[in-house]
Amino acid sequence: MNKNLFGLIALLFPLSFGFVSCAEDTAMEDPYANWQVRNEHYIDSIADVARANVDGKWEIYRNYKIVNDDMTPGLGGTVVNNPYETPASVNDSVYMKILEPGKEEGLVPLFTDTVSVYYRGKLINGTVFDQNYTGDLNTEVHVPTHFALQAKKTDGGFSDGLIVGWITALQHMKEGQRVELYIPSALGYGTQSQSSIPPNSVLIFDLKLEKVIHPDGIENYSLKVN
């Protein structure tokens, strides 16, 4: 083997080692590095856009558990008229961008109702963590899921209810309405991890309220919004 070939091999060897090292560094990069800070910045930016409401498609609703001045639980208000924005903490509210309007005679669920919904949930990096349809939503093909807004009492205590962010948003949605819902971690799973959801995660949902199902009994009827 001639000296030129030896020289070429000697030159390529460190270069190939460098490529492998770079590839290993890229593969080892943590996609969730500085996750809490990144999520805090993200929800701050969403809140700014929603509050500006330039396109008129945004609504903001404060955590339904927050008590009003008269000591009654409140359902918050819209981005246009929210008496509790003084300003409220960014983490006290959910942010909804209206994708499709609700039906004119559509019902709005009460806390005692069950809802039939289509949904896809993802993280700020685009990772889908849960969904009940794949591809583009087709209501003629895909099947919605039923959820009770409040936790159900069982022999062992209470079953798991929906996260606060979902309950807050759904009590302001009409049947047929579809929204892009942004939930701060404080109204989601907070500092706890949940399956493929890391702690301190903002949750983003494509959420469509298909139907409101109210319990039996004349005292339990959903609201009708004109």
d(CA 59, CA 96): 5
CB 107 within 8 A of CB 115: no
* Total residue length of the chain: 226
Which tokens in the block code for residue 144? Answer: 């919605």
Question: What was the pLDDT predicted at 215?
Answer: 74
Q: Percentage of the chain surpassing pLDDT 90?
A: 54
Please enumerate in sequence order all residues whose Cβ is within 8 A of that of 168, keeping only pairs 6 or more positions apart, or say none.
Answer: 61, 62, 63, 64, 75, 76, 94, 187
d(CA 154, CA 132): 26
Q: Is the peptide bond before 215 cis (omega within 30 degrees of 0)?
A: no
d(CA 5, CA 13): 12
Q: Whole-angstrom distance between the N-terminal and C-terminal Cα of the chain?
A: 88
Q: What is the DSSP letter of 186?
A: G
For the segment 1-27, what is each residue's pLDDT rounded down to a tens digit?
555 544 544 544 454 445 444 444 445
**Structure pTM?**
0.77
Strands 203-213 and 223-224: unpaired
Domain spanning 33-224: which CATH class is it, in words?
A: alpha beta
Longest CA pairwise span in the chain (Å)? 96
For the segment 30-77, what is each residue's pLDDT rounded down to a tens digit?
888 999 999 999 999 999 999 889 999 999 998 888 855 444 445 555
CB 173 within 8 A of CB 27: no
